Amino acid sequence: MEASGAAVNHRARLGERVADLAALPHRPGMARSPVAAPGGSVEEFDVVVVGSGGAALSAAAGALGVGGTVLVCEKAPVHGGTTSCSGGVAHIYANGFMAANGIDDPRPEALAYMARVAYPGAYDPEAPTLGLLADDFELLTTYYDRGAEVMGRLAALGAVRMEAPWKAWDGRPFPDYYDFPENAAPRGRGVQAVADGTAAGNGGELVRQLVAYAEGFGTEVRCSNRVVDLVVSEGTVTGVVVDDGSACREVRARGGVVFGSGGFAHDPELRERFLLAPVVGGSGVPSNTGDLVRMAPRTGAALGPMHHGWWNQVVLEAADDYANSVLDVWAVPGDSMLMVNRFGVRAVGEKREYESRGRVHHVYEHDEYVNRLMFMVYDERTARLFGGRYPIPPPGAVADYVVVATGVEGLAAALEARLSGPARAAMPPGMAPVALAPSFASTLASTIERFNAMARAGIDEDFARGTRPVEVAFHGPPAEDNQLANPLMFPLDTGGRLFAILLVGSTFDTNSGPRIGTEGQILGVDGPIPGLYGAGNCVDGVFGEGYPGGGSTIGPGMVFGVLAGEHAARRSPRVPSR
């Protein structure tokens, strides 16, 4: 369908309203409400938590668990953050599920795996801290040593029991994302909340349980309450300024303030300033606008690397849309399918997990970001057999974001038209337009010919597609008619219609910000800043530039969230120390 000239422009009228809703009170640079009239009493809690996703609510649980009082401030109109849109998996080493099922997860190998994934440029198995900076290594050891302990404590408190294994379609625990020899326990680290006694709960269920736990103490989760500033007294953070939409009021925190407020993926300015390659905001909630990054510097916080994120791919036409779940291209469906750049060249194994596919968009060579857009190309057979697995439309359905044409030449012409028209208009801010290389059609034909030969032989000589357990897990059951040696590949039929979907590099969120210590304290130049804590995507990520396995976002958020909440609460004179 082509859009007609609408008699009523609802985008101009309602679209702005949606942006307002999404930005309320999210929008970077949005004006603050006036300061409340003086004279009223100032609320005081042991801990103020900023945000309400997995990291923030875990901080609340940690603080409540040691006897603190807590206020949770969430600027979005609903609670839960990106966690509530997610699968709710936490990547925990030597966790309760593994222990109960006899899966050994030895410490040296686990640390080596984490270090290699997180810091591939520095990892050296012979070096004292595996080649990592001492602080980074210490965070990884803390994560290994205390992850299962913290999860056990959350279960003992009755907050949430993270012991349901995240399983693949074949019923096996989902494998980690990298097939490195260092990994002695490649399955079982991904765990979800136990729901209804035995079932595995998703992110919404994880949030529900943590909110229920907090509310059991009378703790309020105040939505549409935006923390706009920190109160700092002689170098110590003693509270926050909260804008509830009508006025800005100070709220005191006797023990500390814990941020679990998300990264800055949906702040175009911070994205463009800090990230190394053009990516769009992506599939986290739109309230991820980097509040801590903007507030922390005036406390003297030391920033870590600011170019890290959890990478993925999204359909160009859905970029930065407000989705009901983390609507990235979670897995690229199809076997008679490949993905090429504007030169018609493959750049990554199409069945890799989202992180590796997302990172391919960052490649700079031949004087440009060669993979700024990737084109997922498939044939009639994959459209039929894999239809309904996003982003391939359900069988019989069509979607305007799918380019359809007959044969390779026809597809190239249709793509060229799309790129110079609707796709150009859809390019997000900060991302330059893309045009096909003159040789695109002929190169794509050669690429498909080579791919088809490799599919028949069962070996992808270029990207080893289908050789990693994680690829099989993401692909799902083989197509019934695919009896080839490598069922993740099948020759494309270029004689009929071909389909293409434009994919752009994106994020679940960034994970860059102030550095933290082993108790979640935000670090200044000379050590922890008293009263200021952070966990999750708002701070420098424990996993550096890597994504070891499913749950690498929520796991550290929860673990360091709990540790931060406990530590902050114990700073309060009201709360007994250990």
Partner 1 sequence: MNLSYLDLPGEGRPCVVLHREATSPVEDAEILRSTGVVGRTVVPFGDYAFYPSGMAIGGLCWYRLLPGFAGTDPVSLAKAVVQVCDLLDAAAIDGLVLAGFGQGAVVALGAGSIRPDRVSSVVAVDPHPGHLPLLPAATWEVTSAPPVLLAGSGPDGAPALERSLTELAGFGRPATGWCWEGNGGAEAAASELATAVRRWLTGTLPA
Residue 3-32 contact track with partner 1, rule CB under 8 A, x = bound: xx-xxx-xx-xxx-xx--xx----------
Name the minimum Å distance from CB 185 to partner 1. Answer: 20
Q: Map the footprint of partner 1 across residues 264-323, applying CB under 8 A.
A: 286, 315, 317-318, 321-323
Q: Which of 520, 551, 547, 445 is nearest to 120 (CA)?
A: 547
Give the residue, chosen from 104, 170, 400, 461, that forms a contact with partner 1 under the rule CB under 8 A: 400
Rule CB under 8 A: is residue 126 a binding residue for partner 1?
no
Q: Rounded to a whole number, what is the largest CA-CA distance in the chain?
A: 79
Query: Strand, helix or coil at 531?
Result: strand
Rule CB under 8 A: is residue 37 a binding residue for partner 1?
no
CB-side exposure of 410: number of CA atoms within 13 Å?
11
Name the minimum Å distance from CB 538 to partner 1. Answer: 21
Rule CB under 8 A: is residue 211 a binding residue for partner 1?
yes
Rule CB under 8 A: is residue 178 a binding residue for partner 1?
no
Of 287 and 486, which CB lies nearer to partner 1 in the complex structure?
287
Of 194 and 253, which CB lies nearer to partner 1 in the complex structure?
194
Give the residue, chosen from 41, 324, 483, 577, that forms a contact with partner 1 under the rule CB under 8 A: 324
526, 314 Cβ separation under 8 angstroms? no
The token pair at 342 is 């504007």
Question: Which one of 240-248, 377-385, 399-407, 516-524 is the stretch in contact with partner 1 (CB under 8 A)?
Answer: 399-407
First to last CA, the chain: 65
Residue 550 phi, psi dihedral angles, 5° rounding = -55, 130
Of 534 and 551, which CB lies nearer to partner 1 in the complex structure?
551
Give the residue, chosen from 208, 249, 266, 271, that forms a contact with partner 1 under the rule CB under 8 A: 208
State the helix-helix crossing angle for 134-157 and 107-118, rounded to 10 degrees: 120
Number of residues that bind partner 1 (CB under 8 A): 64
Residue 138-157 contact track with partner 1, rule CB under 8 A, x = bound: --------------------
CB atoms within 10 A of CB 237: 23
Question: Which one of 73-81, 147-155, 363-371, 567-575 is the stretch in contact with partner 1 (CB under 8 A)?
Answer: 73-81
Of 257 and 558, which CB lies nearer to partner 1 in the complex structure?
558
3-state SS record for 160-201: CCEEEECECCCCCECECCCCCCCCCCCECCEEEEEECCCEEE
Name the minimum Å distance from CB 46 to partner 1. Answer: 25
Of 167 and 450, which CB lies nearer to partner 1 in the complex structure?
167
Rule CB under 8 A: is residue 61 a binding residue for partner 1?
no
Q: Which of 573, 427, 568, 557 is nearest to 89 (CA)?
A: 557
Sign of the torsion formed by the C-alpha atoms of 60, 63, 64 and 65? positive
Of 16 and 461, which CB lies nearer to partner 1 in the complex structure?
16
280, 320 Cβ separation under 8 angstroms? yes
Query: Strand, helix or coil at 58?
Result: helix
Of 64 and 230, which CB lies nearer to partner 1 in the complex structure?
64
Name the minimum Å distance from CB 241 to partner 1. Answer: 24
Q: Map the footprint of partner 1 across residues 442-471, applying CB under 8 A.
A: none
Bin 375: left if φ > 0, else alpha if -120 < ψ < 50, else beta: beta
Rule CB under 8 A: is residue 425 a binding residue for partner 1?
no
Q: What is the DSSP string of 336-351?
A: SEEEE-TTS-B-S-TT
Instruction: Return all residues near 241 (Cβ < 8 A) that are at least 6 apart.
Output: 227, 228, 229, 230, 231, 248, 249, 250, 251
562, 58 Cβ separation under 8 angstroms? yes
Name the minimum Å distance from CB 313 to partner 1. Answer: 14
Q: Which of 228, 226, 204 is nearest to 73 (CA)?
A: 226
Rule CB under 8 A: is residue 373 a binding residue for partner 1?
no
Name the minimum Å distance from CB 200 to partner 1. Answer: 5
Give the residue, chosen from 12, 127, 156, 212, that forms a contact with partner 1 under the rule CB under 8 A: 212
Give the residue, chosen from 49, 63, 85, 532, that forms a contact with partner 1 under the rule CB under 8 A: 85
Secondary element (H or E) of residue 264: none
The token pair at 376 is 């997922």
Rule CB under 8 A: is residue 102 a binding residue for partner 1?
no
Name the site residues for partner 1 (rule: CB under 8 A): 1-4, 6-8, 10-11, 13-15, 17-18, 21-22, 76-80, 84-87, 89, 166-167, 192, 195-196, 199-205, 207-208, 211-212, 286, 315, 317-318, 321-325, 327, 330, 388, 390, 393-394, 396-402
